[in-house]
A and B are shown apart, each in its own frame.
Chain A
C-alpha cells in the first residue's frame, strides 16, 4: 500500500523504451545479417578467394576481406575511403578521416561516446560497419559544431561549463543534437531519461542536464 503522494520508483518512461526498440529496429534495418558480418574474419578458403564463394542469396552482396573504395557523406562532404568489411565507422572516422572528436571508450556500444548522427539519429559507431554508412548522411560532433542550426546547443554546453575531462562530451552533444532536431521542449526529468544512453565518469551529469535542458527550452529546431 503506497503512502499518500508517493509513487514507487518509476519504470523507464515510454520515451526511452521507444528509443531502445527503435535502435534495435535500426540495426536490423542496416542489414547486418548475423554473426558472420561482425566476427573477426577467419582465413577460410571461401573468404580468401571470393571468386570461389557461392552467393547464398540473390539479394546479398558479397565481397572479399580486402579494403575497397566506399563513398561516404560526412558532415556534408563526400569522402572516398578505403574500407575493409570489418572496419567500423568509428575506425574510419578517427583513423582515415582524422575526425577524432568521436571517441572510442567502451568498445561495446554501452556508453554513447562514439555517437554520430546517422540520418538524424544518434548511433554508436563502434557497432556500425563503415560500409553500411554509404548512402546515409553522417554528422559528427565537428559537423554539429560547425552547423549554425546547433549554435544554441553548443553555446549552452559552453556557458554551463558542461565538461570536466571532456572525453564523453562529444557523445552527449550528438545525442542532444538529435533531441534538438526533434524540436520538442523537454523537462529536466525528460532530458535525464533521454540522455541515459550516454555515460560520464567524471560526474558532470548535473551540468550536462542543465545545459541540454536550457538548449532545448530556448532554441530547439522545430
Chain B
C-alpha cells in the first residue's frame, strides 16, 4: 500500500478539566489509503462520530479538546493548523455528510447555491461557474433533471434525493476524504441500496477515500474494504473486512457479529451481549469490555489492553484474543 491519504495517530477527545476530565475518544490510530472505504462501527456512544468530528475539528462544544500525535492529510499535519487554515481544509479536502440531510441542508437556500457556496469560497469561482459546476455534481450523484433541480429547495426533495444533494454539497470541491456519518440510517432499505451504490461508484470514479460511520454490520460487509470497531471510546479491532468478519479476534467484535438478526429463519432466541456499554465517567479498570466479556483472564481487570498487530494489517486490543479460525 502506498502512503495513506489520511494518517491518524493517537487522536483523543477530552471533555472538562482537572478532576472532572472525561476522555471521550482515547488514542485512536488508523490509516486510510486512497480509494479505501473504512467502516467505523460500534454502539451508540462509543465515540465513532466524536472521533471523526475531531478529525474535522467540528466539535459540538468548546468544552472539548482534541489531542493527538498526528493527523496527516496527504502529508499535511492538521493538528498544527489554526482555525483559519483548518477552514481551507474543511469542505475542500475533507468532506462530511450526515445522517439526517433534512437538518444539515439550509432550508432557505436553493440546492445549487448550497453546492456553489463552497466552490466559490474555496476555488474563487464566479457565480456562473459555480452554478455550472453544481449542475455537473448533481448529475454525478444521480439527481434526475439537474438543470431544473439546481434551483429547487431542500423541502422539494424526497429523503433519498436530499441525501444525494448533501453528497453533492460535500463533493463540490473534490475532497480527498469523505466522512459519511450514518449516511443511510434514516433511509428505507431500497433507497439505502441506491445511496451505497452511489458511494461505491464515486470511489471507483474519483478515487475518493471514505470513512463510513455506521452501526449496521450488513452495510459494512457489503461496501467497506476495512473495518474498525470502537467500544467505549477506544478502537478495539481494525483489519481487512474479509478477515475481520470471518475471523474476529476481539470478543466484542465476535459478539457484535453474533447478535445480528441474520436473515436466517426460525423463532430461536437472538444472541445478545449481556449488560450495557460503560459510562465514560465510570469506566471499569482494565479492559473496558471486561464486565460484558465471556472469555476473561487475569489481566483483563488489571490492565488496559493496547492495539497490537496480529497477522498482517489486522490489529486487536485484547489480552486474550480469540484464536485464528475460531469463526463465529
Pairing of A with B: no
- Residues of chain B touching chain A, judged by Cβ–Cβ distance below 8 Å, are none
Residues in A lying within 8 Å of B, measured CB to CB = none
